[in-house]
């Protein structure tokens, strides 16, 4: 696992400067990280994850593509040293990350009504969290993608709150708050196997959906959800140097 981890880090840092067609539209101060923190509160038995930026966190959201294929996704991402099994996935190689995302073209949180309008399928643009397992993928400029598996593979376990896609992705429904230059999310201890001593980093990125390829599930020339541009890395080298503050 450790060897694979550093291989992925090398891939991301080597390709982070690459450009893509839409990436430059969102390269502004709202995605330039000034600090990152994860603090544990014994009082509420939860960790508070926070990214601060030079601009206004969460103010910039993607321009709709009008369809799922090619749909843009913006993210404030916390790569971690947590294991996939800590959040309900079956054991698999890759980096477990908590991604706070916005994407107006689709809704992948069928259990949650983030804009409180009584509808559960129309609020993908509202910043919301996902657990994802990231792996190296040279088919995209950012060098990473959410790990996929064959649809119907009964050897893969996903958390019961997953959105029903053949990827290592979950929609846990944690509270996300954007205020001024910060975006934060509150994660109950029991939802991460009561782990409060992990390492982490902070990343801002542009991702994109691909529904082409065999079976329409991103198995062709591009992954289903790939990282196309990294705007900032808190540590500068994605070494996960930060530890949870107690």
Domain boundaries, the chain: 2-243
pTM score of the predicted model: 0.91
- How does pLDDT run across 153-204, given as a tens digit for each residue? 999 999 999 999 999 999 999 999 999 999 999 999 999 999 999 999 999 9
Percentage of the chain beyond pLDDT 70 is 89
What's the rounded Cα separation, in Å, for the pair 79 and 9?
10
- How does pLDDT run across 196-234, given as a tens digit for each residue? 999 999 999 999 999 975 434 445 689 999 999 999 999
What's the rounded Cα separation, in Å, for the pair 43 and 41?
5
Q: What is the pLDDT of residue 23?
A: 84
* C-beta of residue 232 within 8 angstroms of C-beta of residue 74: no
Helix (H, G, I), strand (E, B) or coil at 216: helix
Q: What is the pLDDT of residue 221?
A: 85
Say whether pLDDT at 2 is over 70. no
What's the rounded Cα separation, in Å, for the pair 31 and 52?
9
* C-beta of residue 142 within 8 angstroms of C-beta of residue 134: no
Say whether pLDDT at 44 is over 80. yes
What's the rounded Cα separation, in Å, for the pair 64 and 54?
25
Say whether pLDDT at 22 is over 90. no
CA-based angle 28:230:85, to the nearest 5? 130
Q: What is the DSSP letter of 48?
A: E
Helix (H, G, I), strand (E, B) or coil at 51: strand
Percentage of the chain beyond pLDDT 90 is 85
Question: Residue 194: which residues within 8 A CB-CB, separation 6 or more?
Answer: none
- Kindly indicate the confidence band of residue 52, based on its pLDDT and cuts at 50, 70 and 90: very high
Q: What is the pLDDT of residue 7?
A: 44
- How does pLDDT run across 134-152, given as a tens digit for each residue? 999 999 999 999 999 999 8
Helix (H, G, I), strand (E, B) or coil at 65: coil
What's the rounded Cα separation, in Å, for the pair 225 and 220?
12
* C-beta of residue 89 within 8 angstroms of C-beta of residue 213: no
* C-beta of residue 97 within 8 angstroms of C-beta of residue 78: yes
Q: What is the pLDDT of residue 220?
A: 62
Q: What is the pLDDT of residue 36?
A: 98
CB-count exposure of residue 56 (10 Å: 0-12, 13-18, 19+): middle
């Amino acid at each position: 696992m450790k060897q694979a981890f550093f291989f992925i880090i090398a891939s991301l840092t080597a390709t982070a400067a690459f450009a893509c067609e839409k990436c430059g539209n969102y390269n502004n101060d709202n995605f330039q990280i000034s600090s990152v923190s994860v603090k544990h509160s014994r009082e509420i038995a939860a960790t508070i994850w926070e990214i601060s930026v030079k601009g206004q966190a969460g103010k910039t959201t993607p321009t709709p593509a009008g369809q799922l294929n090619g749909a843009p996704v913006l993210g404030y991402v916390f790569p971690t040293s947590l294991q996939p099994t800590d959040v309900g996935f079956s054991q698999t190689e890759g980096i477990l990350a908590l991604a706070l995302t916005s994407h107006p073209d689709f809704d992948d949180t069928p259990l949650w009504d983030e804009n409180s309008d009584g509808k559960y399928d129309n609020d993908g643009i509202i910043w919301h969290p996902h657990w994802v397992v990231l792996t190296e993928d040279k088919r995209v400029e950012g060098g990473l993608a959410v790990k996929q598996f064959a649809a119907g593979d009964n050897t893969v376990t996903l958390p019961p709150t997953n959105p029903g896609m053949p990827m290592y992705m979950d929609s846990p429904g944690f509270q996300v708050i954007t205020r001024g230059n910060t975006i934060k999310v509150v994660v109950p201890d029991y939802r991460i196997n009561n782990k409060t001593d992990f390492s982490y980093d902070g990343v801002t990125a542009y991702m994109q959906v691909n529904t082409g390829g065999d079976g329409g599930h991103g198995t062709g020339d591009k992954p289903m959800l790939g990282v196309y541009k990294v705007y900032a890395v808190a540590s500068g080298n994605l070494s996960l140097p930060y530890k949870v503050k107690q």
